[in-house]
Structures are given as C-alpha cells and as structure tokens.
Amino acid sequence: MRVTFRLNGEATVIEAEPRQSLADAVRAAGFTGTHHGCEHGVCGACTLRVDGVAVRGCLMLAVQAEGAEVVTVEGLDAPDLKAAFVRHNALQCGFCTPGMLMTAAELLESGHVPDRAEIRDHLSGSYCRCTGYQAIVDSVEEVAQARHGAKP
Amino acid sequence: MKASHFDYVRVQSVEDAVRVMADSDGEARFLAGGQSLIPALNFRLDRPGLLIDLNAVTALSGIRREGDHIVIGALTRHAEVERHPLIAAHLPLLAEAVQHVAHSAIRNRGTFGGSLALADPAAEMPACALALRAVIHVQGPKGRRSIPADAFFEGSYATALAPGELLTEVHIPLPDPAARHGFAELTRRRGDYAMAGLALMAGPEARVVWFGLADRPLRDLGAEAALAQGPHAAAAAALDGVEVWGDLHNSAETKVHLARVMIRRLLERMT
Ligand SMILES: Cc1cc2nc3c(=O)[nH]c(=O)nc-3n(C[C@H](O)[C@H](O)[C@H](O)COP(=O)(O)OP(=O)(O)OC[C@H]3O[C@@H](n4cnc5c(N)ncnc54)[C@H](O)[C@@H]3O)c2cc1C
Ligand code: FES
Ligand code: FES
C-alpha cells in the first residue's frame, strides 16, 4: 500500500505491506536510529513521535501513519537533551538511547519541572541494559531544570 | 518476530466496521490501539486475514457528560482518560487507575474500549468498569444492545461480545456525591499488569472489585458487606469462599494473603 506522510519534516511516500511496522518503515527510509528490541512494546527502543506524542514504533503499522507527522530520533529537536546524555555518559552501547531520548523529550515538554521520581516513572517503560539508569535520570533532571532557569 | 501477512482496511464509520466484519467470515479483527493485538500478531499467536482499523472513526472517541452519566467512546485513548477534566471531576477512581496501565507511550495509543474488549484478567480498566457500574454499548450485525459490566466479563479474555460485535461506548453513572474511591495494585515493576489489584467504591453504593486474582475481575460481596465495620473486618471477610488462581510467580494462598493486606491498608489510608 502507498503511504504518504511527513517524516522528520519531509514529505515522504513509501510502499508498505500492511504488516510492516512503522519502526521498520522509518528504518527502511534511512532513519536507523529507531531500534528494534522486543517487538512487543516492552523495551521502548523503537519509540517514535507521531503527531506530537510518543508511540511504540513496533506496535503501529506503517500504513496507519497515512497523513501523520512522524519524528525519529534523527529529527528530534532537543540538542540540550542530546548534549546532556553525552556529558553525563548516559549511554554506553547506545541501543536504548533513541527510545530514552524520545520518551524523555515528551516529559520535558510537559511544561513543569519533574522530580527524579517522576522522571523514573516516565522512563520506566524503556529498558537500558548498560548504564543502570542513574546517568539517564541525571541528564533528564538537569535539562528539566535548565529549561526552566532553575539551578541544577 | 514479524507478523504474518494480512490485509488492511481503514473504515470511516461504525456501520462500515460492522459490515466489513460481517463479510469477513471470522477472518478479521478490529484494530483499535493495537497495543495488545499487534504484539499478538508479532508473536504469531493470531493470524487474522484482515485488520479493520477503527482509528479514523471519530464518532468512537471522546468523553462527554450525558445527564447523570459520563460516556466514554471505545476509541478514547488511555492518555485522554488520564487527563480529561470530566474524569478527574466525576470518576477519580478511573483517573487514578489509568495511570497504572502500562507506560506513557502505550497509553498514548491504547484505548479504553480495547482494554474492555480484550478483558485481560489482570487489567485495570475492566475492574474499574465493574466497580463503577458501567454499561457497555455494542453494535453488531443484529443491531445495538447494551450490557452491564456485571454480565460483560465472562472469563479469561472472554466477554459477552458476540462474534462481529463492536464495542462502541461505555456509560458510567455519576457516583453518589458521598462516595469515596480507593485503588491499589501490586506489580513487580511500575506499569506491569497486576499480581493483585483492587478497585473500590465506598459509601452508599459500595463495590469491591479485585483483579489479577482470577480469570476475570471479581466482585467481592463479602468484603462489601463488611466495609462499614472497618479495615480489619473487611480484610477478614475479603475473598472468603472465592476461588483465587495462582500464577507463574505466586500461589493462590500468597495472592489471598497479599490481597487481604492490600484492602486493609487501602481502607486505613482512606479513613
Ligand atoms: C508493554 C505493555 C504493557 C501493558 N501493560 C498493561 C497494563 O498494565 N494494564 C493494562 O490494562 N493493559 C496493559 N497493556 C495493554 C494496553 O492497555 C492495551 O492498550 C489494551 O489492553 C488494548 O487496547 P487497544 O486499544 O490497544 O486494543 P487492540 O490491541 O487494538 O485490541 C485488543 C483486542 O480487542 C479487540 N477490540 C479492540 N477494540 C474493540 C472494540 N471497540 N470492539 C470490539 N473489539 C475490540 C481487538 O480486535 C483485539 O482482539 C500493556 C500493553 C503493552 C504493550
Ligand atoms: S521493539 Fe518496540 S518496544 Fe521493544
Ligand atoms: S546504553 Fe546500552 S542499552 Fe542503554
């Protein structure tokens, strides 16, 4: 089936079988930052933004993206968050990182400064096998405070 | 793993959804949020020939007040239930419980109606529907009917939906202004399905509903009767004579113990 949508800001047309996941489709379109872990919604590595909200790319069909605005980690406009991950060493192998960034970005746009418990809660749907999460929570907390002009 | 091949059609109305389903000879599935159906396809636990995507049927989503009821469209996302002012104002039990459904990216797509139609015995929304005396409206090849939540959940992943019937909306009566609510759930990890869970309405129309303990959400008449005598009495009466199922991790005895502690603590917090 033909699917027309916006992918990272660009008008995009693809051919997709109905069973193809949106995560597979964006990877096939060259945005390989979207990762596949479990393919049943548990690990969070495939998390994308569709029409402004975070969704599991493995649990949405590419054909369902008709007319939608899809953003992958490559198109995620959050340089401060990405820089904080580097500064805090919040990634090792980087497999979970795109999903962590997409998930954290949504929380950071909520308009308030989340505390550590809320950050952990929000990220609890993403698995990281490497860093033990501490540095990830540190990064998100720092960006949340910086964006609201609070001292870290 | 990847799903096996299927066809896909996006319908625009309830009538079309029901008609396409009727024409499919049992080969089709309705696709709502896909947060349970797509994993089942990816694991190849199910291999339907056709998915009927409901996501463009705008009439199926949204929350409104109709007289002394709150009406929730089947396609309303968990995230919308979580944030909706009518739910916060009138159905705080639901507002609290929905935060325990999976994780935010899953709540952004998963739907209220999908959760009831799936009837996972450890899920929060079916238990709340029972505690809140919801009435479930459906439309099928033989027309429309409505089913009280008390008669809707028939067993593990089994509901009163007849083949081809679409769940369209859920009507929930406004609780008595004097009613209070309580919700508790025990999970291994935030967002997981419950090992033991409790949705409770106290006051003039008390209801105690367990989930994660058996093949369906369970109303506990014994605990309801003892509610007025306090937390200890309710805990002692809870699950008396009720058949509780063990699971992979916990025996039935452990679950009964956890549940009794849970209801006592919850009532102590509420009083
Ligand atoms: C990692 C993960 C964790 C989760 N944790 C929880 C949890 O803790 N608690 C919880 O409750 N849920 C949990 N879920 C499931 C989630 O809540 C689902 O969204 C929900 O169970 C099904 O809703 P859906 O809209 O996604 O339905 P779908 O997956 O689209 O459909 C599920 C089933 O219901 C049928 N169906 C859907 N809508 C209708 C309708 N209107 N009429 C008739 N039939 C219909 C479908 O045909 C299908 O058989 C989790 C999911 C994932 C992936
Ligand atoms: S691959 Fe989608 S959540 Fe794991
Ligand atoms: S950095 Fe390796 S999985 Fe998270």
A28-63 tens-digit pLDDT: 999 999 999 999 999 999 999 999 999 999 999 999
A9-20 tens-digit pLDDT: 999 999 999 999
* E-only strand ranges, B111-195: 135-140, 143-148, 153-155, 158-159, 166-173, 180-186
Residue B252 is predicted with a pLDDT of 94
CB pairs under 8 A between A and B: 86
B222-235 tens-digit pLDDT: 999 999 999 999 99
Ligand 2: nearest atom to the Cα of A36 = 1
Residues above pLDDT 90, as percent of chain A = 93
Q: Shortest CB distance from B108 goes to which of A17, A21, A54?
A: A54
Average pLDDT over every residue of A112-121: 94
CB A35 less than 6 A from any atom of ligand 2: no
Residue B193 is predicted with a pLDDT of 83
What is the SS3 assignment for chain B? Answer: CCCCCCEEEECCCHHHHHHHHHCCCCCEEEECCCCCHHHHHHCCCCCCCEEEECCCCHHHCCEEEECCEEEEECCCEHHHHHHCHHHHHHCHHHHHHHCCCCCHHHHCCCEHHHHHHHCCCCCHHHHHHHHCCCEEEEEECCEEEEEEHHHHEEECCEECCCCCCEEEEEEEECCCCCCEEEEEEECCCCCCCCCEEEEEEECCCCEEEEECCCCCCEECHHHHHHHHHCHHHHHHHCCCCCCCCCCCCCCHHHHHHHHHHHHHHHHHHHC
Give the binding-site residues of ligand 3, using a 6 Å CB cut-off.
A 91-97, 128-131
Query: pTM for this structure?
Result: 0.96
Q: Which residue of A has its CA nearest to B54?
A: A64
Ligand nearest to C-alpha A57? 2
Pairwise CB contact (< 8 Å): A122 & B109:
no
Residue B54 is predicted with a pLDDT of 98
Q: Which residue of A has its CA nearest to B102?
A: A125
CB distance from A151 to chain B under 8 Å? no
CB A55 less than 6 A from any atom of ligand 2: no
CB distance from A49 to chain B under 8 Å? no
Q: Collect all residues of chain A within an 8 Å Cβ-Cβ radius of residue B108.
A: 53-55
Pairwise CB contact (< 8 Å): A59 & B35:
yes
CA distance A91 to B111: 33
**Is the model's pLDDT at A151 over the cut of 70?**
no
Question: What is the complex's ipTM, to 2 decimals?
Answer: 0.95
Query: Minimal Cα–Cα distance from B2 to chain A, Å?
Result: 8
Residue A92 is predicted with a pLDDT of 93
Q: How far is the CA of B27 from the centre of ligand 3 (A)?
A: 40
Q: Which residue of B has its CA nearest to A21?
A: B2
Pairwise CB contact (< 8 Å): B5 & A106:
no
Residue B248 is predicted with a pLDDT of 85
CB B76 less than 6 A from any atom of ligand 1: no
**Quick check: helix, strand or coil at residue B88?**
helix
A119-137 tens-digit pLDDT: 999 999 999 999 879 999 9
Residues of chain B with pLDDT under 50: none
Residue A102 is predicted with a pLDDT of 97
